[in-house]
Amino acid sequence: MAQKVFIHLESNRGYSRDLLRGIYDYNNQISHWDIIFEPAYFLKNNRTNNRINLIQSVKPDACILENSEDIAQMAQLGIPMIQVTSVNHVEGIPYVKGNYLSDAKLAIQYFIRKGFRSLAFLGIENLEWSLQRMSFFQEMAISSNIQFSSFLLKGNEEDVLSYNFENLVTWIKSLPKPTGVLCCNDDFGQILINACSMAQVKVPHEIAVLGIDNDELICNITYPNLSSIARNHQSTAFNICSTLSDMLQGKVPNQQIILTEALDVIERTSTDTVAIADKEVNKSIQFISANIHKNLEVQDIVQASNSSLKVLNQKFQKAIGHSIFQEIQVRKLSRFKQLLSTNRSIKEIAFELGFNDHSHISRWFSKLEGITPIEWRKKMGG
C-alpha cells in the first residue's frame, strides 16, 4: 500500500506553486506516494485546530507544511514532517531556508554591471528572512563603496499596505536618481512599483526594481513587468522529497536545513536600463537594447555613435569593464534566457533574436552560460 503524504502549502504564491510542481514531479518519477493536498487558503479560519483535526482524520504517514504557527503541536503527532519555511521552526524538524547570501551576491553583481552607484532595499520589519537579505545586500553594497538606503514596512505580510504607505512614497522621492532597489520578494517588488507610480517616479529609469522568487504571474501582471531573481525551487522540492523519503524509512535526515539558492536574474522591464555617467556608452547600450532582436555587429553600434571603434571600446571598458562585443553578448543572452523561461522552442527564440543559423545556438549559449539551453530551462523548473 502506498504511503500517504499530507501537503499544506499556500498555492496562491509562486514559491509554493514551484515547490508543488517539483514535489509532484518527484512523486511521479520516484516515490509514488498518495498525496493529500490542502491549499492553506481553505484552512484560514481557526487554522491551528482545523489543520490538526484534519491530519488526525486523514492519518498521513508524513507531512510537508508551510504555515508554521502550530508546528510545535504538529511535532507531537510523531510522524515525519518537513517545514518549507524557516519561520518558527522546531528543533529536529528539517526545514527550508533561503541562501540569502547568494541572493545578495547576484543582485549586487547585476546592479554594478548596470552602473548603479546608489542601491536600496525594501522589506518588512521583524521577519528574519527579509532582514537577512537586507543585511547581506547592505554589507556588499557598502564594501563596494555604493551608497545604500533601506525602508522596512511595518506590520506583517498580510497588512503591510495598511501601514505608512505614504511614508514609503516619501522615501522613494528622497532616493538619489537613479537607484537600484532590491525587494525582499516579488510581492514587495509589486508594492514598490505601485508606490513609484504614486510618487510619479519613473521605473526603470529613475528607480530600477528587482524582486526575488520569479513568481511569473506577479512579475508579468505588474507594470512595468518586474525583473526577479529566480531560485532553485525545483531542486529544493526534490531535496524535500528525498529527505522525507529517508525519514519514512526510519533514517536520520542527512540535512536539517534545505537551502534554496539564487540561480539567475530574469530581466524584465523594471530593470531594463543602465545608470552610466558616460553619455556615449549609455546611448550605445540603449541602442543595443532597442535592437537586440537583430543580428547586431559591433560596427552597427559604432556607426550609431559619435566615436571611433577604438575610443568607444575604451569608454565601454572604463564604464562597465568589458567591450562592445561582450555587451552585445550579455544582453543577447539575458533576453534569450527571458524567452527561454516561456514555452517557446529554442529555434523560435533564435529566430526572434536575429540569429541567422539556429544550429549553433546551443554551442553559443553553453560557451557563455556553462550549460545548454535545455539544461538551463530544466534547472529553472521549465
Indicate if 247 and 300 belong to the same structural domain. Answer: no
> Residue 157 has what pLDDT?
55
Three-state DSSP state, 40: helix
Q: Look at the block and give the residue holding cell 534547472.
A: 379
Residues 91 and 105 in one domain: no
What is the pLDDT, as a whole number, of residue 163? 62
* C-alpha closest to that of 269 among 211, 320, 313: 211
The 8-class DSSP code of residue 371 comes to: S
Q: Give the up-direction half-sphere exposure of residue 95: CA atoms within 13 A in the CB hemisphere.
A: 17
> Domain range for residue 371?
279-379
Q: How many domains does the chain fold into? A: 3
pLDDT at 13: 81
Same-domain pairing of 87 and 171: no
Are 184 and 252 in contact, with CB atoms under 8 Å apart?
no
Say if residues 337 and 264 touch (Cβ distance below 8 Å).
yes
- What CA–CA distances, in Å, run from 72 to 83, 186, 197, 256, 267? 11, 29, 43, 16, 40
Cis peptide before 224 (omega within 30 of 0): yes
For residues 30 and 240, is the Cβ–Cβ distance under 8 A? no
How many other CB atoms are there within 10 angstroms of residue 18's CB atom?
A: 24
pLDDT for residue 271: 95
91: burial class by Cβ within 10 Å (0-12, 13-18, 19+)?
Answer: exposed
Query: Please, what is the Cα angle at 69 between 64 and 70, to 5 degrees?
Result: 70
pLDDT value of residue 340: 84
Residue 340 and residue 380: Cα distance in Å, rounded? 10
Say whether 125 sits in a helix, a strand or coil.
coil
Q: What is the DSSP string of 63-122?
A: EEE---TTHHHHHTT-S-EEESS-TT--TTS-EEEE-HHHHHHHHHHHHHHTT-SEEEEE
Assess whether 157 and 201 both reside in one domain: yes
Question: Residue 372: which CATH number?
Answer: 1.10.10.60
Angle between helices 233-248 and 14-26 (to 10 degrees): 50
* pLDDT given at position 179: 97
Of 13, 78, 69, 63, give the one whose Cα is nearest residue 43: 69
* Residue ranges in the chain modelled with pLDDT below 50: 43, 46
- Cell numbers for 138, please give them: 547592505
Nearest to 93 by CA among 230, 212, 256: 256
Q: Which residues have C-beta within 8 Å of that of residue 246, sequence separation ≥ 6? A: 252, 253, 254
Identify the domain boundary among 221, 254, 271: 271
Same domain, 117 and 219: yes
117 and 36 share one domain: no
- Distances from the Cα of 238 to the Cα of 2, 12, 21, 140, angstroms: 19, 21, 10, 31
Amino acid at 57: S
Q: Mark whether 204 and 56 lie in a shared domain.
A: no
Q: Say yes or no: 209 and 239 in one domain.
A: no
Q: Where does the chain have alpha helices with state H?
A: 14-26, 47-58, 71-75, 100-113, 128-143, 165-174, 186-199, 216-221, 233-248, 279-290, 298-303, 309-320, 324-340, 346-352, 361-369, 373-379
In this structure, the answer to whether residues 64 and 105 fall within a common structural domain is no
Residues 179 and 148: their CA atoms lie apart, in Å, by 9
The Cα–Cα gap between 166 and 198 comes to: 9
Report the pLDDT value the prediction gives residue 319, as an integer from 0 to 100.
84
pLDDT for position 154: 82
What's the CATH code of the domain at 239? Answer: 3.40.50.2300
Q: Do 115 and 143 share a domain, yes or no?
A: yes
Of 86, 331, 339, 99, the residue nearest 212 (C-alpha)? 99
How high is the pLDDT of residue 156? 63
Residues 128 and 172: their CA atoms lie apart, in Å, by 24
Q: Which helix (H) or strand (E) holds 249?
A: none
Residues 54 and 132 in one domain: no
pLDDT, tens digit (0-9, with 9 covering 90-100), for 287-315: 998 898 898 999 999 999 888 999 999 99
Same-domain status, 364 and 311? yes
| DSSP-based three-state secondary structure for 251 | coil
Inter-residue contact 205 to 4 (CB < 8 Å):
no
Calculate the CA 281 to chain-centre distance: 29
